[in-house]
Amino acid sequence: MRKLQHKLSIARGEKPAELLFKNAQLVNVLSGEIYRENVAVDDGRVIGLGNYEAEKTIDLDGAFLAPSLIEGHFHVESTMLTIPELTQALAPHGTGAMVIDPHEYANVLGLDGIRYVLESSKNLPIDFFIMLPSCVPATHLETAGARFTADDLALMIADERIAGIAELMNYPGVFLGHESELAKIKAGKNKAIDGHAPGLRGKNLNAYVLAGVRSDHESTELDEAREKLRLGMHLLIREGSTERNLEHIISLVTPQNSANCSFATDDKLAGDLVAEGHIDHSIRKAIQLGVAPITAIQMGTINTARHYRLKNFGAISPRYWADFIVFEDLQQFTIKQTYKKGILIAENGKYIGPPLPTFEQPRSTINLTYRPAQLRVEANGDKKIKVIETVPNQIVTKCAVEKPKVVNGEIVSDTERDIVKLVVVERHRATGNVGVGFVRGLTLKRGAIGSTVAHDAHNVVVAGTNDADIIAAIEALKEMRGGQVAVADGKVIASLPLPIAGLVSDQPLEKVMEDIETLNAGARALGCLLEAPFMTLSFLSLSPIPELKLTDQGLIDATKLQITDLFV
């Protein structure tokens, strides 16, 4: 710590501090109390609690003062914003630090993607700590733009802003003891090791924990979350745009176990972050569902900091960074002000911090080739087909078995039964790989929607009612160098260009939010009734998440992690 002797003299009361936050209702997440207190700050750090002299006094007049909030697991790419633009969206909601997994950048750009994230996230009014992606690609059942080994992770693990190894998505590989996965855990070198184990229970879960995994954010059911908590996993309770699990498992949290629980959003759209909130939304919802306010705030601050070993974050105490939020009602938990190292950066819902930098874009990542004939699916006698069935507000899917609609010997979309064609085209290496399947739950009546955001390999994914519009969507995405589109009658009716890795816009926050609204309106014009149609679309190729998915290599049984035939 710089100027330590000077700070010690202030703490002893011999010199005035730079700042004094006076008459605060201090939310002390260390002692679990809320009480009247003053907080002295100098050089961006908390110096002491009590009566101090200061060059400047901020009288909070009885408002609550708490540490700023910490995100436990987040993919910045899901916002489709650059990290500086994301900062402007998050600061008004009280976020002071983020633990992020740049898994999407890594799958497209490899180690260059991690370097881009490290560079574009430094010296911002929010601290970003990076978990090194452990599964690039997520499984062997998709073609990504890069491949990481344990040696690649070891090259970067020592960086002080690297918090550990990100979610071990190949959970069968972990509990079965595959050396490649165990080597990635070993590369963590005593830093945090994040898990990803949807639905994993029993003895295989024991083995997963034994291997060294220390957290999980994939629990969707109460009993699943309880079992993981009992085995010592840090429970990251997720509430994103489509992955809304908080309501289902928050009743598990008690005063006795809450120290082992935190909040995460995983994936959340820019508009949802601005309108609904971030970790502040999770805290509000938890309080509404019966969690004590002090407990909910601990889950959004000190619990996360301790799990990820973020030194001097997550509390208001001497030596900790002066990262504060101010609010006036414990139940409503509406953030009034956000401070970063004692500097006011957001107030009344607006970012007012320093101007944010811009960064040079990485290379283009759209390299695809395909033949329209690859989209055709010939009928196979009277055989039924497997259909991906979406689950509302979840990223898991079901496997339905249906009689297909056949026209001239070819299986086609059946909008009357809400079954439309789904296509995935490899876009990194121009392999010509094309996967074709069918999906139910998008409610499309005409046209097609397409995206180059397609977890986790981020190939081109298009769902449509006819091949002509599907092809038009693919071509539009190719021309834009990545993005999202809605197409009808061969024409693009709405689009969102994403030239940065085919994942992220280079435009300001307001423009991106406007384009997303226009894009969603375009999807609605095609009949789609989903709140977040393109995020739902993006998860239909996520091969490690049960039950049925589609990648460039074909239809995937995501429970057994193997390619499966379309026909039953």
351-397 pLDDT, tens per residue?
999 999 888 888 889 999 999 999 999 999 999 999 999 998 788 89
Q: Which tokens hold the place of 26? A: 């201090």
> One-letter amino acid identity for 310?
L
Measured CA to CA, the distance from residue 188 to residue 181 in angstroms comes to 12
Measured CA to CA, the distance from residue 513 to residue 529 in angstroms comes to 19
Average pLDDT, the chain: 96
Picking from 165, 232, 128, 245, the residue whose alpha carbon sits closest to that of residue 198 is: 245
Q: For 353, which DSSP code?
A: S
Q: Which tokens hold the place of 503? A: 């994942």
pLDDT given at position 547: 93
pLDDT given at position 361: 85
How many Å from the N-terminal Cα to the C-terminal Cα in the chain?
Answer: 65
Do 409 and 509 belong together in one domain? yes
Do 224 and 95 belong together in one domain? yes
Measured CA to CA, the distance from residue 399 to residue 383 in angstroms comes to 16
Average pLDDT of the segment spanning 5-12: 97
Q: Which tokens hold the place of 193? A: 């090791």
pLDDT given at position 476: 98
Do 286 and 397 belong together in one domain? no
Do 292 and 204 belong together in one domain? yes
Q: Which are the contacts of 392, defined by CB distance < 8 A and separation ≥ 6?
A: 441
pLDDT given at position 397: 95
pLDDT given at position 359: 84
Average pLDDT of the segment spanning 185-194: 94
Measured CA to CA, the distance from residue 315 to residue 311 in angstroms comes to 10
Coil, strand or helix at 540: helix
Q: How many domains does the chain have?
A: 2
pLDDT given at position 559: 87
Do 299 and 396 belong together in one domain? no
Q: Which are the contacts of 231, defined by CB distance < 8 A and separation ≥ 6?
A: 205, 206, 209
Average pLDDT of the segment spanning 319-348: 98
Do 119 and 196 belong together in one domain? yes
Edge-to-edge strands of the sheet including 69-74? 69-74, 95-100, 127-132, 162-168, 192-195
> The domain that contains 248 carries what CATH number?
3.20.20.140
pLDDT given at position 415: 98
Q: Residue 25: pLDDT above 80?
A: yes
Q: How far is CA 81 from the centre of its chain?
A: 12
Q: Residue 243: pLDDT above 90?
A: no
106 lies in some domain: yes
pLDDT given at position 544: 84
Q: Residue 422: pLDDT above 80?
A: yes
Report residue 264: phi and psi, to 5°.
Answer: -145, 155
CA angle (10, 12, 13) in 5-degree steps? 65
Residue pair 345/338 in contact (Cβ under 8 Å)? The answer is: yes
Coil, strand or helix at 228: helix
Do 259 and 379 belong together in one domain? no
Average pLDDT of the segment spanning 143-168: 94
Average pLDDT of the segment spanning 281-297: 98
Q: Residue 1: pLDDT above 90?
A: no
29 lies in some domain: no
Report residue 230: phi and psi, to 5°.
Answer: -65, -25
Residue pair 227/198 in contact (Cβ under 8 Å)? The answer is: no
**Residue 24's pLDDT band (cuts 50, 70, 90):** very high
354 lies in some domain: no
Last residue of a domain, one of 293, 309, 325: 309
**Residue 66's pLDDT band (cuts 50, 70, 90):** very high
Average pLDDT of the segment spanning 469-475: 98
489 lies in some domain: yes
Do 283 and 410 belong together in one domain? no
pLDDT digits 0-9 by tens, 339-362 = 999 999 999 999 999 999 888 888
230 lies in some domain: yes
pLDDT given at position 532: 86
Do 396 and 292 belong together in one domain? no
Picking from 272, 303, 300, the residue whose alpha carbon sits closest to that of residue 68 is: 300
Last residue of a domain, one of 274, 291, 309: 309
Residues 359/360/361/362 CA torsion (nearest 10 deg): -110
With pLDDT > 70 as the criterion, what percentage of the chain qualifies? 100
Measured CA to CA, the distance from residue 329 to residue 543 in angstroms comes to 43
pLDDT given at position 561: 86
Cβ burial of 4 (10 Å; 0-12, 13-18, 19+) is exposed
Last residue of a domain, one of 266, 292, 309: 309
pLDDT given at position 393: 75
Residue carrying the six token digits 């283009």: 364
Measured CA to CA, the distance from residue 357 to residue 362 in angstroms comes to 16
- Whether pTM > 0.85 for this model: the answer is yes
Range of the domain at 179: 69-309
Q: Which residues of 240-251 are buried (b: 16+ CB within 10 A; e: fewer)?
A: bbbbebbebbbe
